[in-house]
Chain A
Amino acid sequence: KNEVEQSPQNLTAQEGEFITINCSYSVGISALHWLQQHPGGGIVSLFMLSSGKKKHGRLIATINIQEKHSSLHITASHPRDSAVYICAGGGVSNFGNEKLTFGTGTRLTIIP
């Protein structure tokens, strides 16, 4: 069982819909990341948060430390939002560094 679980694995929605992607983690973490991976492979960091909520444009990320749960929301979704969204928890590794544990990703497809 992966220590970082995402749901849903796949999500298809119409342009304009409000999107929610969920991430639950079972490990102790100091920060949670949301990453975006477009077709072709490159990964871009969207958010890093350790409490509360962050907003960037149409993207909002929230985290509830007590419940070990984070959500990524996209308002007014657009076809260019189509990508794989990955959450990753930063924990403490055997080396004393904050090793990231990655979820398996949510593939989002926005239909025009």
Chain B
Amino acid sequence: DVKVTQSSRYLVKRTGEKVFLECVQDMDHENMFWYRQDPGLGLRLIYFSYDVKMKEKGDIPEGYSVSREKKERFSLILESASTNQTSMYLCASSPTGTGFLEQYFGPGTRLTVT
């Protein structure tokens, strides 16, 4: 079974703090994704990566950055957290050749910025 894990299920941070959300997958997947999920808006793509050290902006990259130093790990970074970044963050991965079409999701991190 594919396993995608996220470092925290719940996280509370203060405005202005630097926040790291970690995602690890154990199936040697090439592609990894970060989404945020908000009520009434559905999942929105923040960034994705199709290889180590490669990244592409999604639909809402502002205020976020990412890092992919190893194939199995994809980190989302909030350089200076703001209250409008309070959300559920979901990581996903997909095998080589499937792009966005066969994504496996992690359990999510519910981030609250106060």
Contacts and interface: CB of A to CB of B under 8 A. Distances in A.
A86 B105 contact: no
Nearest to B105: A43
Contacts of B101: 30-31, 33, 48, 90, 98, 100
Interface residues of A, number: 26
Residue with the highest number of chain A CB atoms closer than 10 Å, among B88, B100, B107: B100
Contacts, number: 58
B107 A41 contact: yes
Contacts of B42: 2, 4, 86, 102-105
Residue with the highest number of chain A CB atoms closer than 10 Å, among B40, B43, B50: B43
Contacts of B108: 40-43
A78 B44 CA distance: 30
Given A86-B43, A104-B40, A98 B100 contact: yes
Interface in B24-62: 40-45, 50, 56
A29 B103 CA distance: 16
Interface of B: 9, 40-45, 50, 56, 88, 90, 92, 99-108, 110
Nearest first, the 10 A-B pairs at minimum CB distance are A41-B108, A43-B105, A102-B42, A42-B107, A102-B43, A97-B99, A104-B42, A98-B100, A98-B99, A100-B100
Interface of A: 2, 4, 30-31, 33, 35, 40-45, 48, 86, 88, 90, 93, 95, 97-100, 102-105
